[in-house]
Structure 1
Amino acid sequence: MHAIIWKPLRTFSLLCLPILLIFSATTLHSDTEDSWEMLESEHFQIYYQPDETHPQDIADIAEDFYPHLNRLLDGIEIGKIEIWMCKTQKQFQAAAHAPIQDWAVGCAFPLSRRIVIQNPRVIIDRKFQLSQVLRHEIVHIAFGQRTKSTIGDIPLWFIEGIAIYLSGEWAPHRHDVMFEHILSRSIIPLSDLTERFPIPERGAQLAYAESLNAVAWLVKIAGEEKLWEVIDLLGEGHDLNTAYKQALGWDLATFDAEWQASLSQRYYWAALFSNSYLFWGSLGLVFILVYLLRRRRIRRRLVELEQQESQVDPFFRQDNQS
């Protein structure tokens, strides 16, 4: 799970989205027991503590991914991105300046170009891939830099959907999460994921899954260039509602409704199971169809047997009898 810190005036959410409390290196340095070292690469500065992390591995992952940001940054020079590797949960919480949930492993400060992540061992223990966490947070930085003038008003579901989609995260469990909640008819409208995600991890997992699903559906129905058109419009200072209307011809409310309607079509069997009358009615029709087909085969076989019995075997004909 990831966290973002963007701007003032929004209420705290589990993703720390609402408040941009400028993260300062002095916060991490305030603990006299901490001794930070820094490894610098072409686009990143990796801050770490000796014997706790592998800074070169972090730098390699980050630099390998950086060329994938070319389209998103669109020629913008953003300066070097700081990546702070925290040794403990306490240090991670202090660095974030926000009540991040215990299951969060990364936090991005897009406007100040800083990423704070848990110790890689913690990330691995929680069954996350370090490369995915880093790519996700790096996309947050790039997207925030590209949309500085409007980032505070962009719905959280779109921000997270973009980060997951453009970072190329492969998380098949999100399909299972979507299926489960379509089955239980508990999908959260995108309009309810504008400023915050649910605090419990289970609810947050659904919010992340929906965010990716909504962005991926936009690409499916309109093409990836339309997604980039939306991002370009955001970069020009338009809000997301205006960007959607100009690029897609839909406002956000229409997109939300159409996306929700599409779920029952794309997850047909989940929709079938979610309606008990439809499910049992369909199941009954299947049994009736199977019964009729089987009965037809039996009748056909009986007719064949009757025809065979009506014919006299040549051996028993009169001219063959002794």
Structure 2
Amino acid sequence: MKSLIFLLLILPILSASASWESVESPHFRVYYQEGTVDPTSILQIAEDFYAEMPQLTDRMPAGMIDIWVCDTQKEFQDSVHAPIQDWAVGCAFPLSRRIIIQNPKHIALAKLQLVQVLRHEIAHVLFGQCTRKAVKEIPLWFIEGIAIYFADEWVPSRHETLLKHIFSKSILPLQALTRGFPSSQTGADLAYAESQDALRWLVEVKGRDVLFSLISELHAGNNFNTAFEAVVGWDLATFDVLWRESLAERYKWASLFSNSYFLWGGLGGLALLGYLVRRNRRQRHLNKLSQQENTMDTFFRT
């Protein structure tokens, strides 16, 4: 059902001059300006993802999740009504069940996909609602890692960023990403890449069931640090150290290139190999010419 509403009455932080329409599904309500976006595709993506996450949704109180689609970047910045970087295309307010995203055309210009952005922000809301009793104590790296993991995101630039910092031995400790991320886009890219990898490694070494057991503890309102140590078996400081140590093992080839001896030795070896290949090719060519010279052309045979 569509209904025309005035933003001043519904969400005062947005422009009062813009008129908005809404369309609903069982769990989501999309607000948009007519002619700017197809709301049904947004609802479909949202409901599909919602259905994938019963481990979280079954623990949530009933209620709709609102998705506001802003047509311009300025409108998006004004709508968030909180400090946010210029390069951001989505923002979630988990405790109020509200998501604000830019128009999909702007998301595409940022080399991202609408599906990824929506799933990421919805994951924030689902996780935040599920753990609302303990959400203020949860480190930001874990919150973002959870959203990326559940959204099943793959952003190649993050992988490249992680490798670059493994190469330069400039990985940030997770402790530095507890309450905030760097404000620059490059710094934030590293923070997101680390959050993604740390959460993925946790699941790899401890299992997905351990992750949901931890979420259950948070759902019950238990302290994050205490719950993490009880469920995972490591305190956060130990996990931080072990995760950073695992990077060198899991990305061995990147670690090798971080050593100048191996780097220059490897480059020298490649140069030598190239020289030998070229010399062998030239020698084969000379041998072929020699054989041709020693062979009498049939024209001269009697």
Please state how far the C-alpha of 1:48 moved relative to its aligned partner. 0.4
Task: Determine which of 2, 14, 27 is the counterpart of 2:13.
Answer: 27
| Matched residue SS, 1:45 | strand
Cα shift readout 1:19-62 (whole Å, capped 9, x = no counterpart):
xxxxx71222x422x01011011111100001111111111111
Structure-2 residue corresponding to 1:140:
124
Task: Determine which of 85, 101, 120 is the counterpart of 1:101.
Answer: 85
- The reply to whether residue 220 of structure 1 matches residue 204 of structure 2 is yes
| Matched residue SS, 2:13 | helix
Say if 2:59 and 2:130, in contact at 8 Å, map to a contact too.
Answer: no
Say if 1:140 and 1:163, in contact at 8 Å, map to a contact too.
Answer: yes
Structure 2 CA distance for aligned equivalents of residues 75 and 160 of structure 1: 20
Say if 2:50 and 2:57, in contact at 8 Å, map to a contact too.
Answer: no
Give the aligned length: 262
Structure 1 residue identity aligned to 2:71: K
Structure 1 residue identity aligned to 2:54: N
Structure 1 residue identity aligned to 2:252: Y
Structure 2 residue identity aligned to 1:150: A
Structure 1 CA distance for aligned equivalents of residues 59 and 243 of structure 2: 32
Task: Determine which of 220, 225, 237 is the counterpart of 1:253.
Answer: 237
Task: Determine which of 187, 200, 206 is the counterpart of 1:203.
Answer: 187
Structure-2 residue corresponding to 1:46:
30
Structure 2 CA distance for aligned equivalents of residues 84 and 116 of structure 1: 5
| Matched residue SS, 1:53 | coil
Where does the alignment leave 5 or more consecutive residues of structure 2 unmatched? 1-9, 274-302
- 1:1-322 mapped onto 2 (5 Å cutoff): 25-28=11-14, 30-32=15-17, 34-277=18-261, 279-280=263-264
CA RMSD of aligned residues (A): 1.8
Say if 1:162 and 1:215, in contact at 8 Å, map to a contact too.
Answer: yes
Structure 2 CA distance for aligned equivalents of residues 74 and 272 of structure 1: 46
Please state how far the C-alpha of 1:272 moved relative to its aligned partner. 1.2
Please state how far the C-alpha of 1:280 moved relative to its aligned partner. 4.8
Bigger mean CA offset, 213-222 vs 73-82 = 73-82
Say if 1:36 and 1:49, in contact at 8 Å, map to a contact too.
Answer: yes
Structure 2 CA distance for aligned equivalents of residues 201 and 100 of structure 1: 11
Please state how far the C-alpha of 1:144 moved relative to its aligned partner. 0.5
Structure 1 CA distance for aligned equivalents of residues 16 and 56 of structure 2: 37
Structure 1 consecutive aligned stretches of length 4 or more whose deviation exceeds 6 Å: 281-284
Structure 1 CA distance for aligned equivalents of residues 229 and 75 of structure 2: 43
Please state how far the C-alpha of 1:126 moved relative to its aligned partner. 1.1
| Matched residue SS, 1:26 | coil
Structure 2 CA distance for aligned equivalents of residues 223 and 262 of structure 1: 16
Which structure has the higher relative contact order (CA within 8 Å, separation 6+)?
1
| Matched residue SS, 1:36 | strand
Cα shift readout 1:124-170 (whole Å, capped 9, x = no counterpart):
11111001100100010010001111111110000000000011112
Please state how far the C-alpha of 1:279 moved relative to its aligned partner. 4.4
Structure 2 residue identity aligned to 1:27: I
Please state how far the C-alpha of 1:171 moved relative to its aligned partner. 2.0
Structure 1 CA distance for aligned equivalents of residues 171 and 62 of structure 2: 37
Structure 1 CA distance for aligned equivalents of residues 210 and 218 of structure 2: 12
Structure 2 CA distance for aligned equivalents of residues 282 and 202 of structure 1: 29
Computing the radius of gyration from Cα coordinates, the structure with the larger value is 1
Structure 1 CA distance for aligned equivalents of residues 84 and 201 of structure 2: 29
Bigger mean CA offset, 129-138 vs 242-251 = 242-251
Say if 1:78 and 1:145, in contact at 8 Å, map to a contact too.
Answer: no
- Taking structure 1 as the reference length, the TM-score comes to 0.78
Structure 2 residue identity aligned to 1:248: V
Structure 2 residue identity aligned to 1:55: P
